[in-house]
Chain A
């Protein structure tokens, strides 16, 4: 069974631009979550989606948005990029939106904002 895939793996953008990251969950999984990882703040939760509905949102500004499609694939978008948005963005998929479920992580997208 293929794992979680994220594209692209690396991105370089400049301040003010916008970016879209993509995540394909494990086949059959309908829950997708996104996390931001930085050296200073560690791993922080961004969003959680299940069946195309956002169930939870982390404490991030409105420049960060996401969505989930009917095939469970998910995208996140960051508009008006800032230097502080440079991070590893991780996507995780799960089979159901419960706290006992295991989330499986993709390799991440490394975003660098210049």
Chain B
């Protein structure tokens, strides 16, 4: 079936550290890929997306590249801030549907 697997959390880093959160997917066809972020007590906010292979999504210093050969969409940021502390979700949607399939989420904590 269609699924998304994220690296297990929680992840704790110091401010200005480099961040990678791994995400791999299994899907039929050619999905679109998304990263959403959830701050405490809030809904999900789109962080970035990519709709075809080799596309790079970027926003607020975060980047992820759609790698079809490795079925991956890893999230990276060069220098994290305390305000980046949140839960990050990788997700895919399949052709013909808007339904999102989510990974289990990765809780990120950044210490000053």
Contact = CB atoms under 8 A, between A and B. Distances in A.
Interface residues of B, number: 26
B98 A31 contact: yes
B43 A99 contact: no
Interface stretch (B7-15, B69-77, B78-86, B89-97): B89-97
A102 B100 CA distance: 10
A106 B100 contact: no
Given A42-B105, A43-B89, A101 B98 contact: yes
Interface residues of A, number: 28
Interface string A1-33: 000100000000000000000000000000101
A100 B51 contact: yes
Interface of B: 31-32, 34, 36, 42-46, 49, 51, 89, 91, 93-105
Given A48-B97, A99-B95, A104-B46, A43 B102 contact: yes
Contacts, number: 66
A31 B98 CA distance: 9
Interface of A: 4, 31, 33, 35, 42-45, 48, 50, 55-56, 58, 90, 92, 94, 97-108
Interface-central residue, A4, A31, A99, A104, by most chain B CB under 10 Å: A99
10 contacts: A48-B99, A92-B44, A94-B98, A97-B97, A99-B31, A99-B94, A99-B98, A100-B32, A102-B49, A103-B100
A48 B46 contact: no
Contacts of B100: 33, 35, 43, 45, 92, 103
